[in-house]
Structure 1
């Protein structure tokens, strides 16, 4: 159980209401999906009961789909990919906020820029 009232409320707000939910709905998949409500949301979209079978988030197809869906919808932090990368701007550094704040943002931005140049060169 969460150690402070603030943490308990955050857990409850995110669907973790039973003893052990924190462990059950711990981070899994490519972007470490957490919270029961996120397992439910992703599961509903792909037709898999991830709330009942959370380890399925480790399956590559489900993990990849959860990553794309979460980034598009902003389920991880409330920030969406389109908030930072769109027709008007390509802010790859701040786009990191859609998953995990600015942790390693410059490194990840350099990967995005390199990947974009490869796609452009290949005319994809």
Structure 2
């Protein structure tokens, strides 16, 4: 009987550990932590540009997109240094309002990497 109780307790501990491991995996799966590519940075840059309007910019989509771009720019490991842009974008993402001018100034290095100004979209030549 004592062996059976010990076995049941062991199974419960294993099951609990598996649940905790599963929750940890599910929680961290949405967090990007590895390096990013130029394509990923430019995709987020264009996504931010698509959310711009005229004059002052308000609303969660702009700030969420600025935060997303800050994340990928901060993890970019190419020859271009995007860390200053990432810091400025993170500050904007945490603010209440911004302007297109402020966003353009905060993305100067990203703009150079992607080959176009914020909001002007990207283009490619047909193959």
The bucket for the TM-score relative to the shorter chain is under 0.3
Provide TM-score, normalisation by structure 1. 0.28
Provide TM-score, normalisation by structure 2. 0.28
Larger relative contact order, structure 1 or 2 (CA cutoff 8 Å, min sep 6): 2
**Structure with max Cα Rg:** 2
